[in-house]
């Protein structure tokens, strides 16, 4: 069963999955783009801007993070998401203020830290300012970052581009509320000036230390907040001479605090909240069965992973420790080779002596006790 925890950073929301156990990590290659779209669908699924996996580290970090947008695409980094990851790990492992995590991402090593007031401060790394590193076809301009004018939906927009591992285009405007976000956001996301598509940010400078943004995200559309976007926007505004080195950045979902000293080699610092909302289990119907050896192996997210070492990795149900009490409520799923025959016998005995109401109470009690342990007790 796919167990997730719902978290958000200023309304930018994610399904968090603890896949730090090797067998669960192996099973995650069944998380196909199509399944992510289903999970993130706000009507037919759970609903989220994306899915975030906490995975075993590969290059000496504390944990590896993979993020998937609601459309199933895999970006390099996420700002609100890494704060949610820090909060999720702290809630799961019982960590307190001062805890820092060396997180491996496709954008390099990122370091969130839990602060006394419960917010998370993140060393987001240095910005990407060379066109090929963003990537963009815009040439570097006088402000020291790629900039220029782009024709979009019949308008000529003055834009600047910066990367935080993922691409961002920043458009200073007089009034963000007056912007046609749906029209311009969607068009700019796929503009040829951005070969890997891009996140789109309209920014209004209220004062040099107070900015206001609206966001259209690559692979997610309009969102209430974008952490990497707020960082890229402060960097662009600083280089364009529109902002100070530190600013409060207001997003539709709330404010972030962003700081950057203007030196291209210096890290950008982001501080803000992250909140746990609920835990859940996804039904087999929503997860969707995929017989072993089916095509889904080829459309799994990471082809390289498809070439698995052992049969166990080919069957996520086999690879995961089966908790008959929650998984086999409708009868044992692997009667031929139940990985825990003893558990199966207990499950069968439980079924024989319990009414449906008892079983439903049991299932909800177990979910509630786990959620309470994580959100209240920690660990
Ligand atoms: O680069 C992208 O495709 C983004 N949509 C990734 C998600 C970014 C995020 N919203 C953030 O806060 O940086 C999570």
Consecutive 10-residue runs of the chain (379 residues): their mean pLDDT? 92 96 82 95 96 96 97 97 98 94 98 97 98 98 97 96 98 98 97 98 98 97 98 98 98 98 98 96 80 48 43 45 55 61 76 78 65 56
Atom of ligand 1 nearest to the CA of 228: 13
The residue annotated as part of the active site, out of 226, 231, 328, 332, is 226
> For residues 144 and 129, is the Cβ–Cβ distance under 8 A?
yes
| DSSP-assigned letter for residue 181 | I
Closest Cα to atom 10 of ligand 1: 226
> CA 350, 356, 358, 361 torsion: positive or negative?
positive
In sequence order, the β-bridge partners of residue 281 are 3
Is 226 known to be catalytic?
yes
Considering only CA atoms, which residue is closest to atom 9 of ligand 1? 78
How high is the pLDDT of residue 327? 56
Does the beta carbon of 165 sit less than 6 angstroms from any atom of ligand 1?
Answer: no
Asked if 184 and 169 touch (Cβ cutoff 8 Å), the reply is: no
d(CA 34, CA 298): 12
Nearest 5 degrees, angle CA 187-CA 189-CA 191? 65
Name which residue sits closest to atom 7 of ligand 1, judged by CA: 78
CB distance 172 to ligand 1 below 6 Å:
no
- Ligand 1 centroid to Cα of residue 270, in Å, is 14
Predicted local distance difference test score (pLDDT) of residue 287? 83
What is the C-alpha to C-alpha distance for residues 192 and 169, in angstroms, rounded to an integer?
Answer: 12
Of the candidates 213, 208, 209, 243, the residue with the CA atom closest to the CA atom of residue 200: 213
Distance of CA 302 to the CA centre of its chain: 17
Q: Is 12 in the pocket of ligand 1 (CB under 6 A)?
A: yes
The Å distance, Cα 229 to ligand 1 centre, comes to 7
What's the rounded Cα separation, in Å, for the pair 256 and 136?
26
- Report the atom number in ligand 1 closest to the C-alpha of 168: 1
The answer to whether the predicted template modeling score (pTM) of the entire model surpasses 0.85 is no
Residue 154 makes CB contacts below 8 A (sequence gap 6+) with none
- Ligand 1 centroid – CA 198 distance (Å): 10
Judge whether 167 and 135 are in contact, CB under 8 Å. yes
The whole-number pLDDT of residue 249 equals: 98
Q: Is the CB of 199 under 6 A from ligand 1?
A: yes
Q: Which of 40, 78, 231, 237 is catalytic?
A: 78
Looking at residue 323, what is its pLDDT? Answer: 53
């Amino acid at each position: 069963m796919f167990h997730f925890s719902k978290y958000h950073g200023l309304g930018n929301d994610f399904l968090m999955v603890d896949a730090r156990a090797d067998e669960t990590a192996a099973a995650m290659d069944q998380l196909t783009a199509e399944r992510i779209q289903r999970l993130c669908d706000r009507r037919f699924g759970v609903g989220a801007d994306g899915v975030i996996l906490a995975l075993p580290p590969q290059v000496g970090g504390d944990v590896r993070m993979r993020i998937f947008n609601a459309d199933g695409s895999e970006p390099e980094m996420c700002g609100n998401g890494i704060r949610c990851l820090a909060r999720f790990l702290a809630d799961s492992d019982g960590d307190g203020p001062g805890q820092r995590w060396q997180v491996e991402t496709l954008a390099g090593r990122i370091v969130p830290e839990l602060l006394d007031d419960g917010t998370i401060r993140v060393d987001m790394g240095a910005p990407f300012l060379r066109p090929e590193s963003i990537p963009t076809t815009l040439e570097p301009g006088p402000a020291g970052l790629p900039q220029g004018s782009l024709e979009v939906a019949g308008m000529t927009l003055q834009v600047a581009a910066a990367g935080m591992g993922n691409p961002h285009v920043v458009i200073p405007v007089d009034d963000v509320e007056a912007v046609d976000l749906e029209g311009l956001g969607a068009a700019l996301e796929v503009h040829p000036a951005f070969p890997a598509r891009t996140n789109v940010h309209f920014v209004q400078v209220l004062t040099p230390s107070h900015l206001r943004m609206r966001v259209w995200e690559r692979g997610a559309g309009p969102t209430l907040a974008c952490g990497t976007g707020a960082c890229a926007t402060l960097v662009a505004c600083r280089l364009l001479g529109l902002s100070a080195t530190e600013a409060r950045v207001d997003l539709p979902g709330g404010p972030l605090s962003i700081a950057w000293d203007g030196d291209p080699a210096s890290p950008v610092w982001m501080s803000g909240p992250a909140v746990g909302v609920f835990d859940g289990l996804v039904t087999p119907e929503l997860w969707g069965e995929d017989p072993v050896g089916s095509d889904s192996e080829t459309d799994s997210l990471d082809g390289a992973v498809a070439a698995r070492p052992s049969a166990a990795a080919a069957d996520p149900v086999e690879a995961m420790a089966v908790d008959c009490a929650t998984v086999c409520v409708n009868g044992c799923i692997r009667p031929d080779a139940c990985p825990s025959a003893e558990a199966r016998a207990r499950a069968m005995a439980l079924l024989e002596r319990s009414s449906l109401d008892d079983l439903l109470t049991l299932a909800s009690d177990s979910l509630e006790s786990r959620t309470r342990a994580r959100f209240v007790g920690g660990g």
